[in-house]
């Protein structure tokens, strides 16, 4: 769990900094960074982390199928595990998207007590923390729903 959190945070940070480092395509000078840039580039960080999570989920699916074919788990356990895997990803990323958006807004607002760099740092920190906690909350809610539905 800690490894996932740290890898998601690192990939998010690298994606955001890479997006800001890009030169404009039309050849014009890049405008100065504003608090709205956190909201614009935050979703690109989320997309990058989705790729990492999708690979992790596919790996879990393969391991589950291997365990089923080896006779280590029953068909019911297999169904429940695969359903939790899929629902956890969908719910997690729904929560992460909302957490990134609202966390970035809240962080930028709080950081605005120190205009300029405070707004930027607060927005980035809020977006990253909101995305990580939103993911965990959405994943937990979706997996709990699977427990109720799949018996």
Region for residue 116 given its phi and psi (left: phi exceeds 0; alpha: psi -120 to 50; beta: otherwise): left
**How confident is the model over 80-121, as pLDDT tens digits?**
999 998 898 888 888 888 888 888 889 999 998 888 888 889
Q: Is the pTM above the cut of 0.85?
A: no
Q: For residue 123, how far is the Cα from the chain centroid?
A: 16
- Which residue is associated with the tokens 């039309």? 26
C-alpha–C-alpha distance, residues 39 and 82, integer Å: 33
Per-residue CA distances from 7 to 14, 24, 33, 44, 126 (Å): 11, 28, 26, 16, 17
Domain parsing of the chain, residue ranges:
2-149
Q: At what angle do helices 117-149 and 2-21 cross, to 10 degrees?
A: 140
Q: pLDDT for 104-114, tens place per residue?
A: 889 999 998 88
């Amino acid at each position: 769990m800690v490894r996932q959190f740290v890898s998601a945070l690192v990939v998010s940070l690298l994606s955001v900094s890479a997006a800001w480092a890009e030169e404009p395509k039309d050849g014009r000078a890049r405008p100065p960074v504003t608090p709205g840039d956190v909201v614009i580039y935050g979703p690109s960080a989320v997309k990058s982390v989705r790729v990492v999570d999708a690979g992790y989920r596919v790996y879990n699916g393969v391991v589950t199928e291997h365990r089923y074919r080896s006779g280590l788990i029953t068909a019911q356990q297999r169904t429940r595990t695969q359903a939790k895997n899929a629902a956890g990803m969908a719910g997690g990323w729904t929560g992460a998207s909302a957490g990134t958006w609202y966390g970035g807004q809240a962080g930028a607002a709080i950081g605005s007590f120190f205009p300029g760099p405070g707004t930027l740092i607060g927005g980035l920190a809020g977006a990253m923390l909101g995305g990580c906690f939103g993911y965990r909350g959405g994943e937990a809610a979706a997996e709990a729903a699977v427990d109720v539905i799949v018996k």
